[in-house]
Structure 1
Amino acid sequence: MLTTHRKRAILAALQRDGQVIAKTLSDTFGVSEDTVRRDLRELAAEGLLQRVHGGALPASAAMGDFVQRQDIQMDVKRAIAVRAARMILPGHVVILDGGTTCVEMARSLPPTLEATVVTHSPSVAVALAAHPRIEVVLIGGRLFKHSVVTVGAAAIEAMAHIRADTYFMGVTGVHPTEGFSTGDLEEAYVKRALAARAAEVVVLASTEKLGAASPYVIGGIDMAQSVVIDDAAPDTLRRALAQAGVAVVEA
């Protein structure tokens, strides 16, 4: 089998099964595992999959910058944002992550809601600037322009003084065994730090993030108590989340 044909077959198997195992591919194609690993490396370099130990998973389609992500599944993100906004109760202190879904969530908060929103996203802060009853706490630090959020030591130090009811976390990958992931190492550290400051973690995940993986792990699937998804989410993922003890909230 030619390399190009083998790669097409790998991508087809990945789309069909949601993951591929290097040993299985080696046996199927009658080639060495080194050959398969080389194929996976080259496909990963093209952004077509995410390598993990022993094989590969689908690469997240949500790896673009903030502007690019504004064009991906915005109707779905708005529905998730509206549903998540209903989870905030009067008097709550919540941490709202960066990202397009979280900005939509900020815009969805009713004008009568009295609460405090802590965020490291200037975009979220601006979206709430005209809200009459929301107290906004903006965490400072170095601006990571790709995602328009603050990161770094200053941001993580500021988070140590927060005790929140809920952290609404954005991710680029949700996978039952590989956990939650994102595309930047510093962002992964910041998200872990924010999760540690909240009594409850709620993950907001549009369809393109489900069953996918990104290079940097935020934490295992059990770090969240709930995941807000839309009705197009695959049943297999719903069952896997439920088996892990994570509540599935449908938008």
Structure 2
Amino acid sequence: MSSDLPSSRIDAILARLASGQPVRAGALAREFGVSEDAIRRDLRSLAAEGLCRRVYGGALPIVEGATPMATRVGEDVQRKQMLADAALRFLEPGSFVFVDNGSSNLALVERLPPQLDLAIATSSVTIAAAVQHRDAIDLLVIGGMIDRMVGGAVDGTALEAIARLNIDLCVLGACAVSAEGGVSAYDPADAVFKRALFARSRRTIVLATNDKLGRHAPHRLCGVAALAQIVVEHDADADIVRDLTEAGATIARAAAQAQP
């Protein structure tokens, strides 16, 4: 067995994550002469502190700019409600709507008026929980392994399920939106899932808070001109909005105050 103290082992794991390397529990257990259970405890502890992202069999580095869904839900609630109110008019009665993972998208389903005739699909556990209490809305939950950073399933099982759907409107989650970089995401698996959603949808809209505008994430989903609408906040930067419009985007602005 290795004589390394747990602190030095954790320091070594953190150094690899900081350099952008993924880590595997089995390989680390062999290297440090400890059980995989011990390594998994290390990784769970690091993930709880926001220092890595747990995945099956190991962990991934935290990508700069990415925030877990559970954290995002409690941030800028009123601004997301205003975006949601502005997006409601794009939901046509009788349509089949896919609501992608995202805290602004959660605000949208929470702001749906009563007795709205819709069918909603989602792979987000939080969004599904918000919809399930609405008797007038049919709910389809896309299953798979839940990615806690993303907030729902984006794995191969989820991809297989959406390949069989014909979606009228997709409310796509986005990490970054810019004229040059288009709509983009931080996580590669999430990006693959989002591209598949976009491909299966007749129309796609994005609700973009100010912090996402003008930013770039590593994985491009689509160009801004390919979206039916980008819903932005009432005080979105005028220069960024102009650039988006010149790139072919259709912009809808939210009101300055959420509806009661």
TM-score by length of 1: 0.73
Aligned with 2:140 (options 137, 144, 151): 137
Distance 1:216 1:66, change over 3 A: same
- Structure 2 residue 111 is the aligned partner of structure 1 residue 108: yes
Q: By how many angstroms is 1:62 displaced?
A: 5.6
Counterpart CA distance in 2 for 1:94 and 1:211 is: 27
Identify the residue that residue 154 of structure 2 maps to in structure 1. Answer: 151
1:88 maps to 2:87: no
For 1:75, which of 63, 73, 78 is the aligned residue?
78
1:230 aligns with 2:249: no
Helix, strand or coil: the match of 1:157?
helix
User: 1:61 deviation in Å?
Assistant: 8.5
Q: Deviation digits for residues 181-224 of structure 1, max 9, x if unmatched?
A: 11100000000000111111101100000011122222222331
- Tell me, in whole angstroms, the C-alpha distance in 2 between the residues paired with 1:185 and 1:162: 22
Alpha-carbon distance in 1 for matches of 2:246, 2:228: 12
- Identify if the C-alpha distance between structure 1 residues 181 and 142 changes in structure 2 by more than 3 Å, giving closer, same or farther: same
**Letter of the structure 2 residue corresponding to residue 122 of structure 1:** V
**Are 2:224 and 2:248, in contact at CA under 8 Å, matched by a contact in 1?**
no
CA distance in 2 between partners of 1:107 and 1:64 (Å): 21
| Unmatched tracts of structure 1, length 5 or more | 1-41, 43-59
Higher radius of gyration, 1 or 2:
2
2:158 partner amino acid: A
Q: Aligned equivalents of 1:142 and 1:76: distance in 2?
A: 30
Q: CA deviation at 1:72?
A: 2.9
Q: Give the structure 2 partner of residue 52 of structure 1.
A: none
The 8 Å contact of residues 122 and 148 in structure 1, kept in 2 or not, is answered as yes
Tell me the C-alpha RMSD between the 2 structures. Answer: 1.7
Distance 2:229 2:135 in 1: 28
Tell whether the 8 Å contact from 1:61 to 1:208 is kept in structure 2 after alignment. no
- What is the DSSP-based 3-state SS (H/G/I as helix, E as strand, rest coil) of the residue aligned with 2:90? coil
* Residue 138 of structure 1: how far off its partner (Å): 0.7
How far residue 141 of structure 1 moved from its aligned partner, in angstroms, is 1.3
Tell me, yes or no, if the aligned pair for 2:191 and 2:220 is still in contact at 8 Å. Answer: yes
Structure-1 residue corresponding to 2:248:
245
Q: Distance in 2 between matches of 1:78 and 1:92?
A: 22
Match of 2:170 among 152, 167, 171: 167
Aligned to 2:53: none
Q: 1:77 to 1:184 in 2, by over 3 A?
A: same
- Checking the alignment, whether the CA contact within 8 Å between 1:61 and 1:209 is kept in structure 2 is no
Q: CA deviation at 1:68?
A: 2.0
Contact 2:70 2:151 (8 Å CA) reproduced? no
How many residues end up aligned between the 2 structures? 193
SS in 2 for 1:67: helix
TM score, norm. by length of structure 2: 0.70
**Distance (whole Å) between structure 1 residues aligned to residue 239 and residue 203 of structure 2:** 24
Q: Structure 2 CA distance, aligned partners of 1:108 and 1:86? A: 12
Distance 2:180 2:215 in 1: 11
